Amino acid sequence: MKVTLSEHQPGSEYGYLVVVREPHDPKYYSESTLWYHIKRALLKQGYDVIKKNPGRDGHLTGAPYYLRTRKGAKGRSFYVWHEMYALEALYAPFNEKGTLELDVAFDVWR
C-alpha cells in the first residue's frame, strides 16, 4: 500500500491523502482493517498517527473511524477522514478501483 499526503496549495489547511493498492496487497472486507493498514503506512513514513472513533473524540459525526496525529506530536498536525462514510463503505471503492482519496485537515492542534 502506498500513501501520499498532500495539500491543496502550499500552506493550505486542507488537503488529501491518496491511497494506492500495490500488487501484493490483499482485498479488504472491513473498514477497521483498511484504516489500520493506512495508519501503518503513515507510521512507516514517520507520521505519529492514531486511529480513533471521532464521536469518542468529541466530534459530532457518525463516521466510524478517522486518523489523527497525537496531541503534542512534533510536526504539522492533521486529521484524515472519509467524507462519504454515510454513502459507501471505505473498502468497497478501494477494492474495486485500487485507489482511494481521503480528506485531510491540517493544523488542527493550535
Asked if pLDDT for residue 88 goes beyond 90, the answer is no
CB 94 within 8 A of CB 7: no
Binning pLDDT at 50, 70 and 90, where does residue 60 land? low
Asked if pLDDT for residue 2 goes beyond 90, the answer is yes
Tell me, what's the pLDDT at 84?
A: 84
Asked if pLDDT for residue 76 goes beyond 80, the answer is yes
What would you measure as the largest C-alpha separation in the chain, in angstroms? 39
Tell me, what's the pLDDT at 69?
A: 93
Looking at the structure of the chain, the number of domains it has is 1
Report the distance separating Cα 15 and Cα 79, nearest Å: 10
- Mean pLDDT, the chain, rounded, equals 89
CB 103 within 8 A of CB 81: yes
Predicted TM-score (pTM) of the model is: 0.89
Which secondary-structure segment (H or E) carries 40? Answer: helix 31-44
Report the distance separating Cα 86 and Cα 44, nearest Å: 29
CB 50 within 8 A of CB 42: no
Q: Which amino acid is at 78?
A: F
The pLDDT tens digits for 19-40 are 999 999 999 999 999 999 999 9
Range of the structural domain that residue 59 is part of: 2-106
